[in-house]
Amino acid sequence: MKRILNPRFLSTVQLKMTRTKINPKSTLSATSAHLRSENIADTLKRKTESSENELDFFKRRKQYINNSVCKPKVEENENPPWSHMVYALDCEMVECLYSINSLARCSVVDYWGSVVLDLYVKQTYKVTDYRTKYSGIQPKHVLSNDSISFEQAQSQVLNLIKNKIVIGHSLYCDTLALKINLPTEQTVDISKLPLVREKMNDLGYRTEHTFSLKKLSRHLLNRKIQTHTHCSVEDATATMDIFKSISHSWYTENQPLFKDYLSGAYFDDRYWPSHVDNNP
């Protein structure tokens, strides 16, 4: 016996389907197919737009590299009068029993990339993690007879960078590991330098945070670093080369302070805050 549905208990949609004899499954299948086709069309459109944007990006990057904007503006045969006043510093740390970041290696290079200091540091406490992948440090480095104590390393670095402009990437981490304080006017941190950020913005890169040294080196110097592990000499050299690419602009902006600091005039009375009465 065929069951007769009471229209009072049917929804409007069900009633319409009953009257028109439409199979709900076929309707849903058709709707799903239509939605799938729209999704596929939207996906293809997005991929096309993304491909065009990527193509435009690589065109701009190629033009940027061909214009040699990313290469250091100071050629090797040139000798800026202040070239001997700048050093690039980089440190590698390990994790010890009572220290998360214990100094294990420190490297300093000059303006031309020559290594002026490269030393390994003995560890006072037991090393819990050498972080070889990220530090390049192995037990043989800090246990060798060539490694020195932390106090000796700190003293050598301080004597070397006296009256020098110290260049670094995230320099605060290095000075913290060395347990030294450097005046702001004596340091240049390329990770926070507006001139470096502007060059990355010109390439189409944006970030709310700082750019890593690896990314800066890849796109501003067209150089791959930190491929297998980290090396403080390699990092310091890349840091100096990135600084050299904007050194003319940086020197122009900081020339008065640069001269005053190197001449020892930074501590003159004219640099005291206006609210301080320094009259005898």
Q: Each residue of 206-235: pLDDT tens digit?
A: 887 889 999 999 999 999 999 888 899 999
- For residue 58, pLDDT beyond 60: no
SS3 content of the chain, % helix, strand, coil (to 5): 50, 15, 35
Q: What is the mean pLDDT of the chain?
A: 77
Q: Does residue 96 contact residue 123 with C-beta atoms inside 8 Å? A: yes
Look at residues 114, 85, 63 and name the one whose alpha carbon lies nearest to residue 259. 85
Q: What is the DSSP letter of 83?
A: G
pLDDT band at 203 (very low <50, low <70, confident <90, very high): confident
pLDDT digits (tens, 9 = 90+) for 242-262: 999 998 888 888 877 666 555
What whole-number distance in Å separates Cα of residue 142 and Cα of residue 138?
7
**Exposed (0-12), middle (13-18) or buried (19+): which is 272, by Cβ within 10 Å?**
exposed
What whole-number distance in Å separates Cα of residue 199 and Cα of residue 196?
5
Which CATH number does 83-265 carry? 3.30.420.10
Both tokens of residue 128?
A: 């819990």
- With a CB cutoff of 8 Å and minimum separation 6, the contacts of 247 are 72, 73, 74, 80
What whole-number distance in Å separates Cα of residue 185 and Cα of residue 264?
12
Which secondary structure element, helix H or strand E, spans residue 39, and what is its range? helix 24-66
Collapse the DSSP code of 257 into the 3-class scheme (helix H, G, I; strand E, B; otherwise coil) and give the result.
helix
Indicate the pTM of the whole model. 0.67
pLDDT digits (tens, 9 = 90+) for 164-201: 999 999 999 999 999 999 988 889 999 999 999 999 98
Residue 104 CA, distance from chain mean position: 22
Collapse the DSSP code of 203 into the 3-class scheme (helix H, G, I; strand E, B; otherwise coil) and give the result.
coil
pLDDT digits (tens, 9 = 90+) for 80-107: 778 888 999 999 999 999 889 999 999 9
Q: Does residue 220 contact residue 149 with C-beta atoms inside 8 Å? A: no
